[in-house]
Structure 1
Amino acid sequence: MKETASGDPEVRTLALGAASGTVPLARDFTRQALYDWGWLPAATADRRAAAEDVLLVVSELVTNACLHAEGPESLRVLRLAEVLRLEVADRGAGQPAPRTPHRAGRPGGHGMFIVQRLCRAWGIDRTPGAPGKTVWAELAAPA
Structure 2
Amino acid sequence: MTKQTSASTNEITCRLPRSRASAPRARAMLHAVLSAWGINQDVLETAELVLSELVTNALRVRVPSDRQVGVRIARLLEDGLLRLEVSDAGSGRPEVRAPGDDETGGRGLFLVEALSHRWGVDERAGGIGKTVWAELKAPDIVAEPVGREVAAVMVRPGQRVRAWGEWHVVRTVRTEPYPTGGLAIVLELDEGPALRVHAAEPLTVRNDVVPSTRVSEEGTTG
TM-score for both structures, normalised by structure 2: 0.56
Cα distance change on mapping 1:78 and 1:102 into 2, 3 Å: same
Aligned to 1:60: 53
Q: Following superposition of structure 1 onto structure 2, how do residues 6-45 of structure 1 map, counting pairs within 5 Å?
A: 6-18=6-18, 21-39=21-39
Cα distance change on mapping 1:21 and 1:61 into 2, 3 Å: same
Name the structure with the higher strand share. 2
Name the structure with the higher helix share. 1
Q: 4+ runs of 1 displaced by more than 6 Å?
A: none
Cα distance change on mapping 1:52 and 1:72 into 2, 3 Å: farther
Q: Distance in 1 between matches of 2:126 and 2:70?
A: 19
Aligned to 1:93: 91
Q: Distance in 2 between matches of 1:80 and 1:97?
A: 26
Equivalent pairs counted in the alignment come to 135
Relative contact order (C-alpha < 8 Å, sep 6+): which is higher? Answer: 1
CA contact (8 A) 2:99 2:105 kept: no
CA contact (8 A) 1:16 1:22 kept: yes
Cα distance change on mapping 1:24 and 1:17 into 2, 3 Å: same
SS in 2 for 1:15: strand
Larger Rg: 2
Deviation at 1:103, TM superposition (A): 2.3
Cα distance change on mapping 1:104 and 1:34 into 2, 3 Å: farther
SS in 2 for 1:116: helix
SS in 2 for 1:4: strand
Quick one: percent identity of the two aligned structures?
Answer: 39
- For the pair 1:133 / 2:130, whether they are aligned, the reply is yes
Cα distance change on mapping 1:129 and 1:16 into 2, 3 Å: closer
TM-score for both structures, normalised by structure 1: 0.85
- More deviation in 130-139 or 63-72? 63-72
Q: Distance in 2 between matches of 1:27 and 1:129?
A: 26
